[in-house]
Amino acid sequence: DAKTTQPPSMDCAEGRAANLPCNHSTISGNEYVYWYRQIHSQGPQYIIHGLKNNETNEMASLIITEDRKSSTLILPHATLRDTAVYYCIVRGSTGANNLFFGTGTRLTVIP
């Protein structure tokens, strides 16, 4: 499985965009990039995933570089409730069910 590298922590001002980077230089052609987050004392929550193209949903946007070796999760208007640990995971689709959660990025949204 492709390993991911994320900064251990980041701060973001409330109302500003939070840009969380992830490096996955060994990603293979059929592997997706998934983002999950874990708010304190809760279970992880799925945010978004993508293969090649940029993706957007009601929670966030995912920008994947053309060579697919890195990606950025964007929370367009961060709120205090977005304070959490964000995990970038690279994995296949069906048939590859193990999600390996690394150490993630601890995002703190500051009032």
Task: List the beta strands (DSSP E) in the chain.
Answer: 9-13, 18-23, 32-38, 45-50, 55-56, 61-64, 70-75, 84-91, 105-110
The separation between CA 89 and the C-alpha centre of its own chain, rounded to angstroms, equals 7
Nearer to other proteins, 66 or 94 (CB): 94
CB of 34 to other proteins, least distance (A): 6
Residues forming the site for other proteins (CB under 8 A): 32, 34, 38, 42-46, 49, 91-94, 96-103
CB of 102 to other proteins, least distance (A): 7
Let me know how many helices (H) and strands (E) the chain has, helices first: 0, 9
Residue 87 has, within 13 A of its CA and on its CB side, a CA count of 18
Q: Rounded to the nearest 5°, which phi and psi values hold at 16?
A: -90, 165
Nearer to other proteins, 21 or 92 (CB): 92
CB of 46 to other proteins, least distance (A): 5
CB of 15 to other proteins, least distance (A): 28
Nearer to other proteins, 34 or 86 (CB): 34
Nearer to other proteins, 12 or 68 (CB): 68
